[in-house]
Amino acid sequence: MDDTVAALFRHTREQSVAFCSALCNEDYGLQAAEFVSPPKWHLAHTTWFFETFILKPHADGYRTPEPLYEQLFNSYYNGIGEPFPRPRRGLLSRPTVSQVLDYRAAVDTAVQALLDDATHAARREILGRAVLGVEHERQHQELFFTDIKYSLAINPLLPAYAPGAPIPGGEPPPLGWRGHAGGLLEVGFAGPGFCFDNELPRHRVYVEPFELADRLVSNAEYQTFVDDGGYRRPELWLADGWTTVQEQAWRAPLYWLERDGEPLEYTLYGAVPRSTGAPVCHVSGYEADAYARWAGERLPTEHEWELAAQAAAAPSGGVDSGHFHPRPATGGPGLQQLYGDCWQWTRSAYGPYPGYRPSPGAIGEYNGKFMSNQWVLRGGSCVSNSGQLRPSYRNFFYPRDRWQFSGIRLAKLSAAQ
């Protein structure tokens, strides 16, 4: 198992750098909004995580290349000190990209040495934190994709991250429903292997019988909502959602464009014709909720989603598949598009499971302190790390957020109810 950790570490560290290799040097510093981070910052912060939580406590004689990195690349761990202000991450031209890669190399060497030291007194904690660091970096790899997409999209030149084009696909099959009997059941992580603290403790919940849509809502279906005045009818919206629609002047999903009357969508391949069959993506939780209300349905709860996913096929897809845009559903016997296309908004507020306990110390700030005002999303997207797809994974964002690959799966109570 120890060898696995070392291999996983190496692989993940290399993967992060590889994902950036399509960029030009100038892109590494881009931060087009407070809620995104520059690629260079992701590269440095994930390094900082290993340095802070493994090397500084456990690597004798380790010397940081620059003491100020402790502040510059701290994200939000108040237990470590006051982080550099988030909205200014894009203003750090120094350290340069090259210096950050050197920082990565230095930390990698030191971590590798620790992982190779089978007799280290703190071996158990080192291995545990290395795994956490890898999982942390996998999450930042996904953020890298969502953030650079957002930052490139504001440039009128609409640069592409990747060559090529989205997988076209055709029209999806008609939307069908899959029932679940509900009952007093268990949710939360249960397997061997890694999970985040917010997936624990596994616990019982009582759920009424329900049905889930067997695929995601498509662009064409969402267009019907738009054409029906979806963004102009307050009765379809939560009050805070309606306020946001007005303030932000939302009229369509985040990356929908028109040029000379032709519907386009900005993707990691640049601006391309908008696929009618592809799932609608980059909608906020408010838009997902309004669409569901307009359709006469609702969003699932996170428990419903997880119970259905427990009974479904094993996860597949994600960024290892090598495509950077969600694909149209193709049909099949069970629930389609659970993973690997768009995250799915639930109507569940993100909160602690009964008996939840964060880790002690600064590392306990990882998940627990965000358990207010955010909504849970379930599943995974085309840019998720394939190793993180599982039924119990809880993603969470503010309901106003749109820059993640977030889509819509409908739900309803079973008709028998």
DSSP secondary structure, 378-403, as one string? ES-BTTS-GGG--TT--EEE-TT--S
Interacting residue with its own copies among 7, 17, 154, 311 (CB under 8 A): 154
Asked whether position 68 contacts its own copies by CB under 8 A, the answer is yes
**Which residue in 87, 88, 105, 1 sits closest to 43, CA to CA?**
105
Specify the long-range contacts of residues 224-233, CB closer than 8 Å, at least 24 apart. Answer: 225/290, 225/291, 225/294, 225/295, 226/251, 226/252, 228/294, 230/290, 230/291, 230/294
The pair of structure tokens assigned to 323 is 């495509």
List the interface residues with its own copies, window 375-404 (CB under 8 A).
375, 399
Interacting residue with its own copies among 79, 191, 273, 331 (CB under 8 A): 79
Shortest distance in whole angstroms from residue 159 CB to its own copies: 5
Percent helix, strand, coil in the chain (nearest 5)?
40, 15, 45
Asked whether position 315 contacts its own copies by CB under 8 A, the answer is no
DSSP secondary structure, 155-199, as one string? STT---SSSS------PPPPP-EEEE--EEEEES--SSS---GGG
Asked whether position 229 contacts its own copies by CB under 8 A, the answer is no
Choices 12-20, 232-240, 306-314, 336-344; region in contact with its own copies by CB under 8 A = 232-240
Asked whether position 101 contacts its own copies by CB under 8 A, the answer is no
Contact of 223 with 277, CB cutoff 8 Å: no
Alpha helices in 311-356 (DSSP H): none
Interacting residue with its own copies among 10, 202, 352, 359 (CB under 8 A): 352
Note the residue count of the chain. 417
Upstream peptide bond of 65 is cis (omega within 30 degrees of 0): no
Choices 25-33, 161-169, 191-199, 305-313; region in contact with its own copies by CB under 8 A = 25-33
Choices 23-31, 46-54, 107-115, 139-147; region in contact with its own copies by CB under 8 A = 23-31
Choices 68-76, 106-114, 270-278, 335-343; region in contact with its own copies by CB under 8 A = 68-76
Interacting residue with its own copies among 17, 76, 190, 259 (CB under 8 A): 76
List the interface residues with its own copies, window 114-153 (CB under 8 A).
151-152
Q: Which residues bind its own copies (CB under 8 A)?
A: 24-32, 66, 68, 71-72, 76, 78-79, 84, 88, 90-97, 151-152, 154-157, 159, 184, 203-206, 208, 234-235, 237-242, 285-286, 289, 298, 347-349, 351-352, 354-355, 364-365, 369-373, 375, 399, 413, 417
